[in-house]
Chains A and B, each alone.
Chain A
Amino acid sequence: MRILIYLIAWGLVAAFFVAPLGHLVTLPNFDQYMEILKHENTIKAIKNTFWVSLSVGLVCVAIGVPLAWLLTRTNIPSKDSLRSWFCLPYAIPPYVGAIGWIILANPTSGLLNTVFGLNLNIYSFPGLVWIESSFLFTFVLLTTLTALDKMDSSLEEAARLSGANGLQVFRDISLPLLKPAIFNGFVLSFLATAASFGVPAMIGGPARIYLMTTQIYTFQRMGTTQGIQMATAVSVLLMITTLILLFSAQTTIGKQKTYLVSGKSVRPSLIHLKNSKVPLLIILSLLLFVIFALPLLGVLISALSTIQGSWSFSNLGLGNFVRVLFETEETARAIGNSLFLGFGAALICTSISFFIAYFPVRTTWRGKNMLGIFASVPFSTPGTVLALALILTFSQGYFGAGPSLYNTLGLILVAYVVKYMSLSIKTVQDGYSLIHPSLEEAARISGASWWATLQTIYLPLLKSSLIASAFFIFMPVMGELTMTILLTGPGLETVGTLIFSLQEYSDVGGGGAAVLSVLVVGIVFSLNFALKKISKGRYGL
């Protein structure tokens, strides 16, 4: 029974997670690569992708590392709530930020320009870098926070007793020891920028800064064979660079060393910020305001404004809400589709993970770890690339067998499951590793079969992990845009694609995209809050 399930798991992973991407790689021939490398726009897109991602990565480190240190090692007030507020952007789709910033800082009618007389232009390289960074710094923040939480704090205390003050301890001890974590955070934010679609499309388009993902989208939308070929070649390039970068980062500088694990858990002694406490608190609040509150405020104002770009109280009203929610026929369908996809993906991923995550923790079978690694490849692959690979695999049935999934919700569901499965497996696997093997052994000795053990021992004990896993899938799916935009079609709108089309062309008066963004942010916030409550703080931001 166990072996059968194990083999089925391998079959699923091979067929859905590995084969489509493998197939994609074999499609373009050498000449096509040469052709795209001669194509002026493509070269420009590659260069832009590199420079934007690099800048975002560096800004993220500059924001995330000092922040993580302040929030764990000093006596700055209300640390816990600051910590969750700063981590929250992790859960919000970055294109919501783009919509907010377009309202605040577009060159013609941005509110910061018209009302406060500033001269900002969000449609620019710095604008693009800022919006991406204001979300993706959470990658650096989270990796650094985790490392600091795990780090043996006596390493830092020993330095203080040697006579080093707070900043000297940071420079001489914490920073060198955090190098792997910081580097990993940098690579993650770099790659997330390279893989992002919404922000580059909304900001980069008007600014004429095209990235590889937006280029792939343009090629694919051409609808011609040549277009698909070009899209495929750029995709393979993007995917291979991403995977190589990720792999080499994790095996070199980013390799976590074991000395970070503490022997005895003592609360770390905190560094006293005396005179700098109030100024730092003000700086952090301002930063939080600019990163988080300001763009959301922009979205909210836009959603409530009858006429976009002008500011007065008489201009505020619920007209946009009424129009978008009740008078636009796509909206109900989009919300329905997103809910169906969210519940569907959460249910499928969590059920499959319940089985897959068992093997690496509880068996010593050959390839047990490879199962999880292969299943995580699509998660590391840029969404645009994954979507294209799935289209090419499923458009005429599965490699030519069975019905075509192209232009169906089914293919979007497959894409979500394949993309986010890794989150679910990791969560459930952590759950398994907290359960002592003797519990299973005791059940087996009592006469329970393996299947009965799963049902009567593991299922109840893993309840909180499974619930968390469902949340972790549902949340990103509710706002997903990068993959869906390539897979959608008439009648297949989701909340993400509807926001995109309202923002880009179909909502003439404006404000419609903002209304739905408010909805997405509201859903994400309440889910995160619910998860935190249910799990008593173990999961959630």
Chain B
Amino acid sequence: MSCKFQNVGKLFPGNIWAVKDFSLEIKGGEFVSFLGPSGCGKTTTLRMIAGLEENTHGVIQIDNDVVSDPKNKKFLPPEKRHVGMMFQSYAVWPHMNVFKNVAYPLKFQNLSKSKIKEDVTAVLKTVELDGLESRKPSELSGGQQQRVALARGLVMKPRILLLDEPLSNLDAKLREKMRRDIRSIQQQLKLTLVYVTHDQKEAFQMSDRVVVMNKGQIEQIGTPSQIQTEPKTPFVKEFVEVGR
């Protein structure tokens, strides 16, 4: 499914732009990364898709619905957007076991118990967590908690899946495997996916397109090879060079 930004901005009191003049169209089934140093506005932009942050300017559309348009006082709350998200801190609920964590989004979809069970079982298999349904999060490793968070985002068949630096708390080896798994699940399910990271390697390895951001604004949009070989601004050029 698609997502469209038209001149989106977020202005804080004191005339500080967290995000400014952000325009982008994400196509259905596309893997897009927002790449940039910390404080560049990438997480804020991601959270605006989810409705966790409100833009003060511009229009955001998911599919053909306008989800946020401050000019016309339109704002769809997060629970009505049908968007999945994986948080940096995983946000796995410590008081629920794995099954309940993953089944939670289905509670709001009027499904039968057997259908819920079926869906949860299937998605746990996809993320290789089958058999751990009754474990509590405290009995899981960091990598496993991560997969619970991913399963919870997938189970609702979201219009878009958002990932906010999901791998930054994992060790290098696990990170590599998780990268490949996320990419293959995305391609298998033809998911529209937005990925926020400050790690170029991650962005270039996984994405169809990369959006390089700096100080709340887009520096360049392009495929990983375009960005690496034809940097359009001095910032991107330096950023890519330092990354090597």
Chain A residues within CB distance 8 Å of chain B: 152, 154-155, 157-165, 168, 172-173, 176-177, 257, 259, 262-264, 266, 269, 271-272
> In the complex, are the beta carbons of A152 and B78 less than 8 A apart?
no
Instruction: Kindly report which residue of chain B lies nearest to residue A164, judged by CB atoms.
Output: B79
Q: Considering the complex, give the chain A residue whose CB is closest to the CB of B101.
A: A158
Instruction: Report the minimum CB–CB distance from B244 to chain A (whole Å).
Output: 27
Residues of B within 8 A of A159 (CB): 93, 104
B91 to chain A, nearest CB (A): 4
Shortest CB distance B128–A (Å): 21
- Asked whether B87 lies within 8 Å of A162 as measured between CB atoms, the reply is no
> Nearest CB to that of A261 among chain B residues?
B89
Instruction: Establish whether residues B89 and A263, one from each chain, have CB atoms under 8 Å apart when the complex forms.
Output: yes
Output the least CB separation between A262 and chain B (Å).
7
> A152 to B75, Cβ gap below 8 A?
no
B83 at the interface (CB under 8 A from A): yes
Q: What string of 1s and 0s marks CB contacts (under 8 Å) between B85-106 and chain A?
A: 1011101011100000000110
Chain A CB within 8 A of B215 CB: no
Which residues of B sit under 8 angstroms from A177, Cβ to Cβ?
A: 93-95
Chain B residues within 8 Å of A158, by CB: 85, 87, 91, 93, 149, 152
Q: Are A264 and B91 in contact (CB under 8 A)?
A: no
In the complex, chain B residues whose CB is within 8 Å of the CB of A173: 93
A420 smallest CB distance to B (angstroms): 36
- Chain B's interface size range is 20 to 34
CB distance from B101 to the nearest CB of A (A): 9
In the complex, what distance in Å separates the CA atom of A272 from the CA atom of B169? Answer: 32
Interface residues of B (CB under 8 A from A): 43, 47, 50-53, 75, 77-85, 87-89, 91, 93-95, 104-105, 107-109, 149, 152-153, 156, 169
How many angstroms between the C-alpha atoms of A210 and B19 in the bound complex? 63
Task: Give A419 to B106 CA distance when docked, in angstroms.
Answer: 53
* Known pairs A161-B83, A162-B108 / 8 extra A-B pairs, C-beta < 8 Å: A157-B78, A157-B91, A161-B50, A161-B78, A161-B105, A163-B105, A259-B94, A264-B89
On chain A, the residues within 8 Å of B108 by CB distance are 162-164, 168
Residues of B within 8 A of A262 (CB): 89
- CA distance in complex: A155, B96 (Å): 12
27 A-B pairs whose Cβ atoms sit less than 8 Å apart in the complex: A152-B91, A154-B87, A154-B89, A155-B91, A155-B93, A157-B50, A157-B87, A158-B87, A158-B149, A159-B104, A160-B77, A161-B50, A161-B79, A161-B85, A161-B153, A162-B108, A163-B79, A163-B105, A163-B107, A176-B95, A177-B94, A263-B88, A264-B88, A266-B47, A269-B51, A269-B52, A269-B53
Residue of A nearest to B81 (CB): A161
A-B contact count (CB 8 A): 83
Nearest-CB residue, chain B, relative to A260: B94
In the assembled complex, the Cα of A154 lies from the Cα of B94 at a distance in Å of: 12
Q: How far is the CB of A182 from chain B (nearest CB, A)?
A: 14
Query: A162 contacts B94, CB within 8 Å?
Result: no
Judging by beta carbons under 8 Å apart, are B77 and A154 in contact?
A: no
Closest chain-A Cβ to B140's Cβ sits at a distance in Å of: 12
Query: Which residue of chain B lies nearest to A175 when distances are taken between CB atoms in the complex?
Result: B95
Shortest Cβ distance from B108 into A: residue: A163
Are A269's CB and B47's CB within 8 A?
A: yes
A161 vs B80: C-alpha distance when bound (angstroms)? 8
Known: A262-B89, A263-B88. A272 touches B75 (CB 8 A): yes
A158 to B107 CA separation, bound complex (whole angstroms):
14
Among B83, B94, B156, the most chain A Cβ lie within 10 Å of the Cβ of B94
Q: Which chain A residues lie closer than 8 Å to B109 at the CB level?
A: 163
- Which residues in B have their C-beta under 8 angstroms from that of A165? 77, 79
Q: With A and B bound together, what is the CA distance between A257 and B149 in angstroms?
A: 20
Give the CA-CA distance A165 to B107 in the complex, in Å.
12
A269 contact set on B, CB distance < 8 A: 47, 51-53, 78
Is B53 a contact partner of A157 (Cβ separation < 8 A)? no
Residues of A within 8 A of B104 (CB): 159, 162, 164, 172
Which residues of A are found within 8 Å of B156, using beta-carbon distances? 162-163
Cα(A173)–Cα(B95), bound, Å = 8
The answer to whether A157 touches B85, judged by C-beta atoms less than 8 angstroms apart, is yes
A80 to chain B, nearest CB (A): 14
| Cross-interface CB contact of A163 among B82, B88, B95, cutoff 8 Å | B82
Q: Are the C-beta atoms of B169 and A263 separated by less than 8 Å?
A: yes
Instruction: State whether A160 touches B78 (Cβ < 8 A).
Output: yes
Q: Which residues of A contact B83 (CB under 8 A)?
A: 161
| 8 shortest interchain CB distances as A-B pairs | A163-B108, A162-B105, A263-B89, A269-B52, A154-B91, A154-B87, A158-B91, A160-B78
Q: How far is the CB of B49 from chain A (nearest CB, A)?
A: 10
CA distance A172 to B152 in the complex (A): 15
Q: How far is the CB of A162 from chain B (nearest CB, A)?
A: 4
Bound Cα distance from A177 to B137, whole angstroms: 14
C-alpha spacing A251/B31, complex, angstroms:
48
Residues of B within 8 A of A176 (CB): 95
For B54, give the chain A residue with the smallest CB separation. Answer: A269
A172 to B93, CA, bound (A): 10
Chain A residues with Cβ below 8 Å from B87 are 154, 157-158
| Nearest CB on B from A125, distance (A) | 36
Distance (Å) between the CB of B78 and the closest chain A CB?
4
Residues of A within 8 A of B53 (CB): 269
**A168 to chain B: closest CB distance in Å?**
8
Q: How far is the CA of A177 from the CA of B92 in the complex (A)?
A: 12
**Whole-angstrom distance between the Cβ of B102 and the nearest chain A Cβ:** 10
Collect the chain A residues with CB atoms within 8 Å of residue B85's CB: 157-158, 161
Q: How far is the CA of A272 from the CA of B74 in the complex (A)?
A: 13
Which residues on A sit within 8 Å (CB–CB) of B169?
263
How far does the alpha carbon of A163 sit from the alpha carbon of B95 in the complex, in Å? 19
Closest to A259 in B: B94
